[in-house]
Amino acid sequence: MSKILVFTATGQVGSALCGELLARGHEVSGVTRSDAAAGRLIQRGITPVAGDIRNLDELGPRLAGFDAVFLASSDAQDQDRTEAALIKCLRDHRTPHVVKLSAQSAGLNPPVSFGIQHRTVELALEQSGLAFTILRPTFFQQSLLLMSGDVAKKKAITAPMGKGRAAMVDVRDIAAVAAQCLTGPGHAGRTYTLTGPQAHGFADVTEKLTALLGLKIGYMSPPVPIARLVMPFLTGMPRWKTSLLVDLMVAIRHGAQQQVTTDVADVTGREPRTLHAFLKEHLESFQP
């Protein structure tokens, strides 16, 4: 049994990862700033570690004594600086192994969108002297759920991705890879690009939803300048974040995420989940 510390334990990947680790019999701790979130962690059998990544003077002493750490944080304008500072803190506490949740866009040449900050953090980790593994997932299948409201109300998906295709990956497959890297041998110094088994465009998504729902679901790809202008108002996200989302979709539009890898299967021993299976499983979310 290993003692694992998970950052963003209540996030999509972190929550799924905690479940994987607990199912394998490991001792799991999760960093959280919220008393309510700490209570939810305790209910799942996860030990909460109170603290904020931006206050390492307080959090730092609580980071010692773990066999491995899953490093992830919420999207932020200073994500690269806060994660780099955390890596220095983990190095000072002689953390045996760090698994960093990065992004496929960090591996592009040059990196784009959220990948720009992630690549900065990757370099800090590579130069830290710590044993590390880097995970670079593509577009999350779960991110399609953010569009479920438009499907339900407007019977359409709107995104500036054109005919671009992405080998979208299920968050649970990312978690399974992370669990293996945190607890199994042979992953130090490795970088894995995590994809689903096939690349799909949003036209494929709406075609599958049309068949599953029995309703015609459309797909509209607006011009990029219009998407940049209106997305903050449509999503409620800050403009810096929607700008990076548009940058990512433009990169996908030009083929950045259409390549399929075997890394999920190579690490976990099982094939990644398909987009069709994901949509079928979450069909209720898209129902009018």
Taking the C-alpha atoms of residue 114 and residue 247, their distance in angstroms, rounded to an integer, is: 9
Q: The CATH number of the domain where 184 resides is what?
A: 3.40.50.720
Which pLDDT score, from 0 to 100, does residue 1 have? 86
pLDDT in tens, 223-271: 999 999 999 998 899 999 999 999 999 999 999 999 999 999 999 999 9
Domain that holds residue 9: 3-138+170-195+259-272
Any domain includes 80 = yes
Number of domains in the chain: 1
CA 143 vs. chain centroid, Å, equals: 10
* CA-closest candidate to residue 82, choices 120, 138, 127: 120
pTM of the model: 0.96
Give the pLDDT of residue 288: 87
Q: In this structure, is residue 287 part of a structural domain?
A: no
Asked if pLDDT for residue 4 goes beyond 90, the answer is yes
**Percent of the chain's residues with pLDDT above 70:** 100
The pLDDT-based confidence of 169 (bands split at 50, 70, 90) is very high
Question: Would you say residue 28 lies in a domain?
Answer: yes
Whether 133 is in a domain gets the answer yes
Residue 21 lies in a domain: yes
Encode pLDDT of 196-209 as tens digits.
999 999 999 999 99
Count other Cβ atoms within 10 Å, centred on residue 125: 25
Strand, coil or helix: what is 120? helix
Say if 208 falls within a structural domain. Answer: no
158: helix, strand or coil? strand
Domain membership flag for residue 277 = no
Whether 85 maps to a domain, the answer reads: yes
pLDDT at 179: 98
User: Above 90 in pLDDT, residue 79?
Assistant: yes
Mean pLDDT, residues 25-49: 95
The rounded distance, in Å, linking the Cα atoms of 181 and 21 is: 11
Confidence of residue 110 (pLDDT cuts 50, 70, 90): very high
